[in-house]
Amino acid sequence: MSTFEALMQFVSSWVTDPLVVNVFAIILATAVTSYVSKRVLTSLAGRLQATKTPWDDALLATIRRPLKLLIWVMGLSLAAELIAEAQSQSQLDVIDNVRHLAFIALVTYFLSGLIKELESAYLADGGDATTVTAIAKLVRISVFITAALMAMQTLGLSISGVLTFGGIGGIAVGFAAKDLLANFFGGLVIYLDRPFKVGDWIRSPDREIEGTVIDIGWRLTEIRTFDQRPLYIPNSMFSTISLENPSRMLNRRIFETVGIRYGDISKMSDIVSEVKTMLLEHADIDKERTLIVNFNSFSASSVDFFVYTFTKTTNWVEFHEIKQDVLLKISRIVEGHGAEIAFPTSTVHVETIQFEPQLDIEKP
């Protein structure tokens, strides 16, 4: 028998074997299904991109790979079952468990990717970074916990037993990791109460903490100080310190004291009146807030009046531009009335002393 005849006989035996035909048909059907699903998703891509909702774009971006893997897992597991039925029934349970575990893993992979895509989409759309990130983290943790419990049930582990063991072991773990848990719940409180969010400028009068919030994690909050150094703060600390959030201020305050010479005190009333008029007419001053310009005190080298008002802007750079403009206008008003802004001076009074000439007394 020639080699060719032997090969043809071998192929003929395989082709006529029902098991081989069925396995080949399943693999071929799997490949065709995978190809068709790819073409369908590609055709849907153009239509879904025309919509404004982020859900369909995120779904399309994350479903491609998990769907392809799921089709092949199902096809190969079905082929493996046919082979196991023909040879040994003992492998069927193993194949079934592997299929279930693969299904759980792929669904978890898909949901995790979908959450990530939706998080990015909402952040790009201008959503609140703190809220979006917090919801994404909570949903992601829920997905992983649910997947872990389903996997344990597939493997035949008792979920109630695991939870009971976790309750007993949680006591010991709680004592060992109380700081970690405190930081975790501190982060949860920040997400719920929202005393600040990513991008806010915060500071604490109790500690040397001041800067812009970069990230709010489950254990640490990252702040970028104004000298551009990163500062990492345990979340539990925020429950023990007072915190200011200047980012949520409605206005910025101008509070300045101006002194003029004692010799110009007769001009004080006119100066104060004109400064107040100037502030009321200033486009960048908030007239709805408290506005005071009053003669205030007699100082050592000057008579003082104070200016108390608020700007409309809260931007730090713009505020200082407005403050500079206000102070320069005040100085021009003072000069316009023929007065001068005082500076520390000392006056020395010298009394005139008359000396009487002494008479020479002639000695005897």
Q: Where in the chain is the domain with CATH 3.30.70.100?
A: 249-336
Q: Is the pLDDT of residue 331 over 90?
A: yes
- Band of the pLDDT at 175, cuts 50, 70, 90? low
Cα 234 vs. chain centroid, distance in angstroms? 15
- Band of the pLDDT at 327, cuts 50, 70, 90? very high
Of residues 347 and 330, more confidence is placed in 330
Average pLDDT for 209-216: 91
Taking Cα atoms as reference points, which of 249, 260, 254 lies closest to residue 200?
249
Q: What percent of the chain has pLDDT over 90?
A: 30
Q: Where in the chain is the domain with CATH 2.30.30.60?
A: 178-243
Q: Would you say 246 and 205 are in contact if contact means Cβ atoms under 8 Å apart?
A: no
pTM above 0.75, yes or no: no
Output the CATH code of domain 249-336.
Answer: 3.30.70.100
Topology of domain 178-243 in CATH is: SH3 type barrels. (2.30.30)
d(CA 208, CA 345): 39
Give the pLDDT confidence of 135-158 residue by residue, as tens digits.
Answer: 788 788 888 888 888 888 877 776
Q: What percent of the chain has pLDDT over 70?
A: 77
Taking Cα atoms as reference points, which of 104, 101, 98 lies closest to residue 147?
104
Sheet holding 252-260, edge to edge: 252-260, 303-311, 292-298
Distances in whole angstroms, Cα of residue 119 to Cα of each of 58, 196, 323: 9, 19, 41
Q: Is the pLDDT of residue 16 over 60?
A: no
